[in-house]
């Protein structure tokens, strides 16, 4: 028969062990590595093992006990539930807080705003500048956006995604792939088209591709929403009369397709034979010259009911519109020459 004192000793020992174990578990799960720690970004890649993630957290200084963190993950059942993405973490967070964040999927986002009228090259440069893509990724963005097979896979005909990468503000996950960025931009275009444009009547002889192409030219010609329908009317009228569109942005885009453009448009450029130069070709160019916003797309569908055939910059962001060449030449003399003498 076990003596009473022996039972008391066993009870005391087991109680002490239990208390020590509870204290140890509490330390593992609720004590931060460094209460004064600075925030860091930690990536979880697809296919990462829990041990790999633990090692990454340790190297970043977010945790100081790898074995303890693994045990905490097992106790919480979180080791198999961590979600892919980039996370804002800190060594001032407890292991439980870290695990809760990694399980929640509340990843850090990278906000990028693409202005209306940006080309594929502009977008790639912006993504590089925002450090969402590196140089290799930026080049891949351009190549894929102009890859006919990839474009067709996203439902875009014509051999390029130019015009269908909708300019808007996006919150991208860190580490997002080039393919996924392009899919998101095209998906946003489709969303806007379905919501705002699908039920508009196409102008006679126009396809959706033609609309996007014309909208891209309108977008590049003016940033003033109130003028877009007027600009559109000029181009619609010129197309109906069989006139060349004579739009400078199309010249520039044609040059950019074959070489770097230095920013200065010359008389020689006006005569250069490219597929996009509407001073040389008749009709619309073979595809969009930029990525238009919603207002430019609507203007392409619904031009103003005017007989204008020409317009010239008034040097204040707006344009002077004319119905015949004589009026236009007079406006050009005033705004492009006499304007600078005042």
Q: What is the pLDDT of residues 15-26, one digit of tens each?
A: 655 554 555 555
DSSP secondary structure letters along 224-235: -HHHHHHHHHHH
Domain boundaries, the chain: 4-107, 110-196, 208-308
Residue 91 pLDDT:
85
Phi and psi of 186, rounded to 5°?
-70, -40
Architecture of domain 4-107: 2-Layer Sandwich (3.30)
**C-alpha to C-alpha distance for 21 and 34, rounded to whole angstroms:** 22
Q: Are 109 and 171 in contact (CB under 8 A)?
A: yes
Residue 76 pLDDT:
77
Please, what is the Cα angle at 264 between 258 and 268, to 5 degrees?
70
Report residue 160's pLDDT band, with 50, 70 and 90 as the boundaries. Answer: very high
**C-alpha to C-alpha distance for 211 and 300, rounded to whole angstroms:** 6
User: 10 Å Cβ neighbour count for 194?
Assistant: 10
The model's pLDDT over 180-235, given as tens digits with 9 standing for 90+, comes to 999 999 999 999 999 999 889 999 899 999 999 999 999 999 999 999 999 999 99
Evaluated on CA atoms 261, 266, 267, 270, the torsion sign reads positive
pTM of the full structure: 0.80
The model's pLDDT over 242-294, given as tens digits with 9 standing for 90+, comes to 999 999 999 999 998 888 887 787 788 888 889 999 999 999 999 999 999 99
The model's pLDDT over 49-91, given as tens digits with 9 standing for 90+, comes to 888 988 998 888 888 888 778 887 888 787 788 888 888 888 8
153: number of CA atoms within 13 Å, CB side?
A: 11
Q: Are 60 and 42 in contact (CB under 8 A)?
A: yes
């Amino acid at each position: 028969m076990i003596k009473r004192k022996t039972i008391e000793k066993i009870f005391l020992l087991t109680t002490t062990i239990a208390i020590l174990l509870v204290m140890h578990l509490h330390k593992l799960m609720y004590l931060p590595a460094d209460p004064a720690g600075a925030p860091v970004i930690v990536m979880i890649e697809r296919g990462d093992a829990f041990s790999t993630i633990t090692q990454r957290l340790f190297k970043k200084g977010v945790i100081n006990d790898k074995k303890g963190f693994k045990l905490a993950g097992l106790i919480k059942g979180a080791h198999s539930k961590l979600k892919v993405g980039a996370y804002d973490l800190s060594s001032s967070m407890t292991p439980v807080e870290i695990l809760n964040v990694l399980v929640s999927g509340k990843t850090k986002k990278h906000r990028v705003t693409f202005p209306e009228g940006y080309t594929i090259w502009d977008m790639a440069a912006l993504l590089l500048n925002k450090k969402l893509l590196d140089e290799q990724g930026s080049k891949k963005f351009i190549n894929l956006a102009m890859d006919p097979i990839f474009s067709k896979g996203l439902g875009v005909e014509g051999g390029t995604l130019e015009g269908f990468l909708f300019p808007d503000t996006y919150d991208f996950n860190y580490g997002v792939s080039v393919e996924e960025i392009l899919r998101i931009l095209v998906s946003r275009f489709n969303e806007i088209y379905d919501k705002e444009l699908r039920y508009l009547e196409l102008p006679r002889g126009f396809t959706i591709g033609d609309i996007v192409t014309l909208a891209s030219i309108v977008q590049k010609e003016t940033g003033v929403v109130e003028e877009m329908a007027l600009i559109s009317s000029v181009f619609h009228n010129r197309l109906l009369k069989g006139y060349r569109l004579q739009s400078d942005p199309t010249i520039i885009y044609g040059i950019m397709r074959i070489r770097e453009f230095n920013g200065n448009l010359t008389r020689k450029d006006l005569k250069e034979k490219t597929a996009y130069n509407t001073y040389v070709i008749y009709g619309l160019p073979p595809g969009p010259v930029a990525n238009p916003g919603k207002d430019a797309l609507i203007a392409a569908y619904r031009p103003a009911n005017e007989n204008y055939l020409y317009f010239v910059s008034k040097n204040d962001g707006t344009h002077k519109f004319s119905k015949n060449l004589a009026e236009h030449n007079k406006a050009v003399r005033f705004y492009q020459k006499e304007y600078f003498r005042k």
